[in-house]
Amino acid sequence: MIKTYQEALNYIHGLPRMHKRNDLTDIKNALKRLGDPQNSYKTVHVTGTNGKGSTVNYLANLLEQTDQRVGMFTSPYVLRFNERIQINHQMISDEQIVELVNLILEKTSGIELIEFEFVTIMGFLYFRDRVDIAIIEVGIGAEHDKTNVITPELSIITSIGLDHEKIIGPTIQDIAREKAGIIKPKVPIVCGKLSDDVRSIVYERANNQASPLYELDKDFFVEKFKIKEFKNRFTYSEKLVTIQAIQVFGFEQTNSQNAAIAIKAFLILQGQAKSQSYIRLIQESIDNNRLLGREQIVQNDPLVLMDGAHNLAAIDNLINSLNANWPKKDIIILYTGMKDKDRADILTLLASKVSTVYVSNLSLSRAAKENDYDLEGFDNIEFVSDYHQKINQVIKTMTSDQIFLITGSFYLVSELENKFKS
């Protein structure tokens, strides 16, 4: 029997990360023994290469203002494991985690669950009898993801790009087919802007499932976009709805796009006929709660930022946004990456767009080490073994003409949160 919170976490993190087979048999069997808690409340299912966490957060902010109890199941966490399972932005308690771990162990004896299956079951169980609706973020992919055991009220695909190619790739079309697996028969699907090389895949799946599909820049729009003082300011519009003066934190345009996806999802869930009555709610509430590790300001002058961007598309957007908003400033980067990421492409991109890149490594087994990088040919990239020392040095010596960005991994952001708080 698990007695303490730390014992519970040790057990969860000690479970295997991957199954030998890529199906949902084990999690379905485990959930059946527990009474299929995932079917006892409404759900929204969210996938996407980037933007999932922000979209979940925006949508939860809105739904909470309708007097609903709103569950959030997300990953990764930044400071505490408990962040992954929340109700109305309140984390599950340590005691409840211990209770759930023991219950699952008792009821699923003999079923070999991997870590993400176990955590997913914890979320589904915790929400039972506690929420009106739960927003469920996938782990990887969609069709074969362990969360794909629900029949949601609505599904969301925030974006489709290259990431986790070894698991759900290798091509962008393979990834699109996997993510389109979130679409259920006759369940509405809201999508971010789809590229031409994947749009037909998603639309074909939606048509085959008779699922209404709403795509950003085709069915709903972000208009009058501008950035001022770390705020996205924009107008949301569709055929019968215009909502002006919306503000969300951040200097990347993707923030407004993710917010628009959440707004469209919210309007569908609440019923389009009521949309006019929700205008003030959306304007006042969409940014009520914010996420750690996204465009997080550590220091204002000179500007120091942390962001958990960890794939090529996210880092490209982040750097382009920095250069667009501060075109006259030199950007210094501290980057740490995982072994399964496109590190060579990421470093090539960074080297071409910023003044200096410092590469380092984390103590995690998944983290890329010094010999995993080939830095020959880059005259503005340097490997540093002690990134704490390098951070202190850069911050101490940088000028107002420079920006320092720490990025590449939520694990890095998590480790540095307490450093900067102190």
- Write the CATH number for 353: 3.90.190.20
Same domain, 317 and 225: no
Same domain, 83 and 61: yes
Cα separation, 137 vs 146, in Å, equals 10
User: 3-class DSSP state for residue 112?
Assistant: coil
Same domain, 229 and 318: no
Cα separation, 162 vs 176, in Å, equals 10
Residue that the structure tokens 């720490």 belong to: 406
Q: Which tens digit of pLDDT belongs to each residue from 234-245?
A: 999 999 899 999
- Which bin fits 110, alpha (ψ -120 to 50), beta or left (φ > 0)? left
Same domain, 268 and 378: no
Query: How much is the pLDDT for 257?
Result: 97
Same domain, 324 and 417: yes
Tell me if 118 is assigned to some domain: yes
Same domain, 199 and 278: yes
Same domain, 146 and 208: yes
Same domain, 136 and 202: yes
Cα separation, 56 vs 136, in Å, equals 8
Tell me if 291 is assigned to some domain: no
User: 3-class DSSP state for residue 9?
Assistant: helix
Handedness of CA 298, 62, 215, 162 (dihedral sign): positive
Is residue 167 scored above 60 in pLDDT?
no
Q: Are 241 and 277 in contact (CB under 8 A)?
A: no
Cα separation, 129 vs 41, in Å, equals 8
- Percent of the chain topping pLDDT 70: 97
Same domain, 211 and 304: no
Task: Give me the amino acid identity at 160.
Answer: I
Tell me if 332 is assigned to some domain: yes
Confidence bin at 166 (pLDDT 50/70/90): low
- Picking from 285, 304, 333, the residue at the C-terminal end of a domain is 285
Q: DSSP H helical segments within 108-212, as ranges?
A: 115-127, 165-168, 172-180, 196-208
Tell me if 290 is assigned to some domain: no
For 115-127, what is the mean pLDDT? Answer: 97
Tell me if 92 is assigned to some domain: yes
Residue 228 burial by CB count (10 A; 0-12/13-18/19+): exposed, middle or buried?
Answer: exposed
Task: Give me the amino acid identity at 43.
Answer: T
Cα separation, 15 vs 8, in Å, equals 11
CATH number of domain containing 128: 3.40.1190.10
Same domain, 269 and 155: yes
Question: 270 lies in which domain range?
Answer: 5-285
For 277-295, what is the mean pLDDT? Answer: 92
- Picking from 262, 285, 308, the residue at the C-terminal end of a domain is 285
Same domain, 113 and 81: yes
Confidence bin at 76 (pLDDT 50/70/90): confident
CA distance readout (Å), 125 to 60, 85, 194, 287: 19, 10, 34, 28
Confidence bin at 20 (pLDDT 50/70/90): low
b/e map 232-260, b = 16+ CB within 10 Å? bbbbbbbeebebeebbbbbbbbbbbbbbb
Cα separation, 381 vs 315, in Å, equals 16
Q: Which tens digit of pLDDT belongs to each residue from 378-403?
A: 999 999 999 999 999 999 999 999 99
Confidence bin at 363 (pLDDT 50/70/90): confident
Cα separation, 174 vs 180, in Å, equals 10
Tell me if 345 is assigned to some domain: yes
Q: How many domains does the chain have?
A: 2
Q: Which tens digit of pLDDT belongs to each residue from 305-331?
A: 999 988 888 999 999 999 999 999 999
Q: Are 405 and 326 in contact (CB under 8 A)?
A: no
Q: Which tens digit of pLDDT belongs to each residue from 32-71?
A: 999 999 999 999 999 998 999 999 999 999 999 999 999 9
Tell me if 408 is assigned to some domain: yes
Query: How much is the pLDDT for 171?
Result: 86
Question: Average model confidence (pLDDT) for the chain?
Answer: 92
